[in-house]
Structure 1
Amino acid sequence: MTVELGSDDRCRRRRTRPHMIAALPADPGHTLRYRPVMANGNGVPEKVAWVLVRDDFVLVTRSHGRDRFYLPGGHREPGESDGETLVREIDEELQATIDPGSMVHFGTFEIGEGHPEHGPFRMICYTADHRGELTPSREIAEKAWFRYADRDRVSVIDGLVFDVLHEAGRLS
């Protein structure tokens, strides 16, 4: 699914998976703070993110010096596929190994040009199996398992993922 938030704070939606439906307002109380990311051919900065849900909780991480939590993942290096990016980023951030063969596209979320907090920005999300303990490393100060009630502690774009998980009954 792609969710786009425009300057008028109304959502436009395009479904890529029929069971995922969201029409979500912008939340000006959140600030997106991402390090510089690679842009796609359209010049939109992108992040590849991992959605890991266990027992109605979703995994999030917080970088050193940041207040907000984010889904684990990061920017694509030149020439990398989404799978290569996710494998590298999760190894760097959580010292775990993603099984690229198990990756399933969960949704693509986008904040459009003119959003009051940030834009444009695109986050391409995947679920995937992993091996190894989830141990924060390098730039990650901590990992946490959040419920939907913790939505106000994540970025705007990550909040969109929380909303979809909640509507699907996977995050209470």
Structure 2
Amino acid sequence: MVSAVCVYDAHGRLLTVRKRGTDKFMHPGGKPEAGESAAQAAARELAEEVGIVLPPEALQPLGRWLADAANEAATRIDATVFTAPGIWTAAPSAEIAEIRWLDLAGELPGDLAPLLTDHVLPLLAAARDAGA
């Protein structure tokens, strides 16, 4: 089980992070600690990884998917994804090697996690097209 958060900047770009020792960009997020709900884990990880502090109840559920793990071969993850309302800036913590803001209208890089490419980005694109 993992929790992840979609975070946007003032230009509508989606925040992605690459954790130290990995090669894929993904949402900020991670595994819940004992007794944490998915939203509590997402809020904690968001603060720990990129310095964005939000109460868990402020996060808006986006969906839950089974996806291939980005950095663990032959592993599937059960991921609950939230959206952080508002516009944000982010600063990487020690566990984050790099942050990148992803322009959803542009060409997508090939180093994105499967949860993003297979589930979240198609959902966001469908919602954007429906609103156009």
TM-score bin (small chain): 0.7 to 0.9
Report what 1:53 is aligned to.
8
Structure 2 gap segments, 5+ residues each: none
TM-score (norm 1): 0.62
Amino acid at match of 2:23: D
Structure 1 gap segments, 5+ residues each: 1-45
1:82-136 C-alpha deviation (Å, 9 max, x unpaired):
2221121111101220232321110111138xxxx63432110011247974110
2:60·2:85 contact (CA, 8 Å) conserved in 1?
Answer: no
Report what 2:28 is aligned to.
72
Alignment counterpart, residue 76 of structure 2, candidates 120, 124, 147: 120
For 1:22-101, list aligned pairs within 5 A.
Answer: 46-54=1-9, 55-101=11-57
Report what 2:110 is aligned to.
152
For 1:103-118, list aligned pairs within 5 A.
Answer: 103-111=59-67, 118=74
Aligned length: 121
Flag the structure with higher helix content.
2
SS of structure 2 residue aligned to 1:79: coil
d(CA) in 2 for partners of 1:156, 1:76: 20
Report what 2:126 is aligned to.
167
- Bigger relative contact order, structure 1 or 2, given CA contacts below 8 A and separation 6+? 2
Report what 2:96 is aligned to.
140
SS of structure 2 residue aligned to 1:145: strand
Amino acid at match of 1:61: V
TM-score (norm 2): 0.78
